[in-house]
Structure 1
Amino acid sequence: MHFQLTEDQRALQQGMRELLTRGEPGWERLHDVGLFTLRVPEAQDGLGLGLAEAVLAFEEAGRALVRGPLVGSELAATLGRDTAEVVRVPARGPVLVPYLPELTWVLLLDLDGSLRIVPSAGLDARPAQAVDPRMPLWEITGPLPDGELCTAADADRLAAEATLLTAALQCGLAARALADAVDYARTREQFGQPIGAFQAVQHLCADMLARAELARVAVYAAAVSADSEEIAGAKLLADEAAVHNARDCLQVHGGMGFTWEAPVHLLLKRAWAWERAVADREHCLDQLAGHL
């Protein structure tokens, strides 16, 4: 079996990359280009594409570090809703919701696997400290409303798709970290030559490439199979690639990477934030262990 991208898929991928490399578009622009209606049927004014195409688009959004409730809004569109975010209720600690003032709905994944659609306006919350300043958090202080309970099948599907789309974001971020490290290694000179000529830097970049490609293949395969266990494994690989590549990118940049002016720190902070989103490492490992 050959997992080659079709011409239409390559065109979608390239079109998203060109749009996002011209500067981060506003939220309205992302709606206009159909990022959140890729999988909505054409009869409902969507594009009628599949999960694989959504993964390609979200990979490019991750590469560009697009801010906003991306995953939740895409899932909400498949349910006929608008702007939303997916939040998993933790076993311990507060419920943290990113981008709360920008949301209309919150998709709450409970500990028992059920999913509730809750209006954001009905939540009592206060700002919370966030690791990524461009991904602000709000802590829910009041009781969680009942909301609209999804069916068990829809809850399982939406949780798996949210995990996969977040993994796609991480794949894009891992590739971005690699590209930034290579570009810097080509231009930064030490001892009369680019630092990319040094073997230690070459090894760092080679390891980054291996992690990014392994994660990308796993995410693409999970998009085709839509298997929940494969999705959990893909999220683990994508998280590892994003976090480690961002750290290695910081290493390649050296002291410059630790300055506020350099964008490298944003890669690492966003990788940490997406690592904890929807299904974190512990949840994915538990899911795989239960399957085995």
Structure 2
Amino acid sequence: MKFTLTDEQTGFARSLDDLLSRADTVAANRAWAAGDHEPGLKLWARLADLGVTSLAAEASPVEVCLAFEAIGRHVAPGPWIESAAFLPLALPDTDLSESRATVAMPYALDADIADAVYTVADGQLHQATVGERVASVDPSRHLFEVTAGEPVDSPNLDAAHDLATLAGAAELLGAGERVLADSVAYVKQRTQFGRPIGSYQAIKHQLADVRIALDFARPLVYGAALGVTRRSVAAAKIQSADAANLAARVGLQVHGAIGYTDEYDLSRWLLRIRALQSAWGSPASHRAWLINDLLASRS
């Protein structure tokens, strides 16, 4: 099967990328990490006007993946997966298009700016009360403990979780692509012994490995978007997390010590990738579930 985007999907992806490219998302990410939400909230409003917060309810999972790949590529701050992928399916009778809501899995992301906070406990969605903030590997992801309150009717909880996991996979794919692009640009500029380090075979091979890993992840992500099942979503999250992690490791290696510093923009993506690897299920947990499910289907 040959999968290609429609003209409308290509146009949407281009419009979203153009908006994010002009928005200085890295500055918004840094400000968000420092507790200044204003630039990020302005960006949120612009993306909401473009329809990103309505995609889960009104469009297909393909458009959701296109949006979250762009969000990952531009490291936009905010509880996007929770507000724009999970809750619109978990609460189908609630209009969340003009609000910022979040859900604890197990911690509530950016509950300090959320209009509504929920949590999942005992297989059911609940309203939640926000507690203490906990540390996150990504300072632009503000995590909070919550206490479950009144239960909320949520008939599509499993489907919502699958779409949120798929959105996380797409965001990892976008972040990995950005790290690879920046790494390729950097090795063309940095010189050692009088020649660009990108001319050395060892560097070329490492970057090629990242390219291959991302190219293997992409069809799994968008294949899952064509028919969202627990199996396809688990495979997409595993491959995209592994590919993005490889991109981060190689990107850090070719940049050297500068890539790890807070002052250098690359660190924004390295930390986001690290945080997203375990969000909505780690690769290890998805592998364990997938293996058990495949074995069970053969018995």
Q: Give TM-score, length-normalised by structure 1.
A: 0.87
- Which one-letter code corresponds to 1:139 in the other structure? E
**Would the alpha carbon gap of residues 35 and 184 (structure 1) be closer, same or farther in structure 2, given more than 3 Å must change?**
same
Q: 1:102 Cα deviation (Å)? A: 1.3
Q: Alignment partner for residue 154 of structure 2, among 150, 156, 159?
A: 150
Structure 2: distance between partners of 1:199 and 1:267: 25
Partner of 2:81: 71
- Which one-letter code corresponds to 1:263 in the other structure? D
Structure 2: distance between partners of 1:136 and 1:29: 21
Partner of 1:28: 45
Write the deviation string for residues 129-188 of structure 1: whole angstroms up to 9, x where unpaired: 111111111123xx421330312xx01100100100011000000101100100001111
| Contact 1:107–1:115 (CA under 8 A) maintained in structure 2 | no
Partner of 2:293: 291
1:126-165 equivalences in 2 (<5 Å)? 126-140=132-146, 143-151=147-155, 154-165=156-167
Structure 2: distance between partners of 1:165 and 1:264: 22
| Contact 1:219–1:234 (CA under 8 A) maintained in structure 2 | yes
Aligned length: 270
Structure 1: distance between partners of 2:68 and 2:131: 29
Q: 1:218 Cα deviation (Å)? A: 0.7
Partner of 1:276: 278
Partner of 1:181: 183
Q: 1:2 Cα deviation (Å)? A: 1.6
Structure 1: distance between partners of 2:286 and 2:221: 14
Matched-pair identity in %: 31
Q: CA RMSD in A?
A: 1.7
Write the deviation string for residues 212-259 of structure 1: whole angstroms up to 9, x where unpaired: 111111101000121111101110111111122111101010122132
Alignment partner of 1:145: what SS? strand
Q: 1:107 Cα deviation (Å)? A: 4.1
Structure 1: distance between partners of 2:163 and 2:65: 10
| Contact 1:84–1:103 (CA under 8 A) maintained in structure 2 | yes
* 1:241 maps to 2:251: no
1:83-102 equivalences in 2 (<5 Å)? 83-88=100-105, 95-102=106-113
| Contact 1:87–1:107 (CA under 8 A) maintained in structure 2 | yes
Structure 1: gaps spanning 5 or more residues: 41-47, 89-94
Structure 1: distance between partners of 2:217 and 2:211: 10
Structure 1: distance between partners of 2:76 and 2:270: 14
Structure 2: distance between partners of 1:285 and 1:225: 19
Q: Alignment partner for residue 195 of structure 2, among 170, 193, 196?
A: 193
**Would the alpha carbon gap of residues 85 and 282 (structure 1) be closer, same or farther in structure 2, given more than 3 Å must change?**
farther
Partner of 2:61: 51
Structure 2: gaps spanning 5 or more residues: 26-41, 295-299
Write the deviation string for residues 60-111 of structure 1: whole angstroms up to 9, x where unpaired: 11100111010111133453233222433xxxxxx4221011112334334x
**Would the alpha carbon gap of residues 282 and 118 (structure 1) be closer, same or farther in structure 2, given more than 3 Å must change?**
farther
**Would the alpha carbon gap of residues 87 and 281 (structure 1) be closer, same or farther in structure 2, given more than 3 Å must change?**
farther
**Would the alpha carbon gap of residues 87 and 280 (structure 1) be closer, same or farther in structure 2, given more than 3 Å must change?**
farther
Structure 2: distance between partners of 1:116 and 1:105: 13
Q: Give TM-score, length-normalised by structure 2.
A: 0.85
Greater share of helix: 2
| Contact 1:39–1:51 (CA under 8 A) maintained in structure 2 | yes
| Contact 2:120–2:126 (CA under 8 A) maintained in structure 1 | no
Structure 2: distance between partners of 1:162 and 1:124: 21
**Would the alpha carbon gap of residues 106 and 233 (structure 1) be closer, same or farther in structure 2, given more than 3 Å must change?**
farther
| Contact 2:117–2:130 (CA under 8 A) maintained in structure 1 | no
**Would the alpha carbon gap of residues 194 and 271 (structure 1) be closer, same or farther in structure 2, given more than 3 Å must change?**
same
- Which one-letter code corresponds to 1:12 in the other structure? F
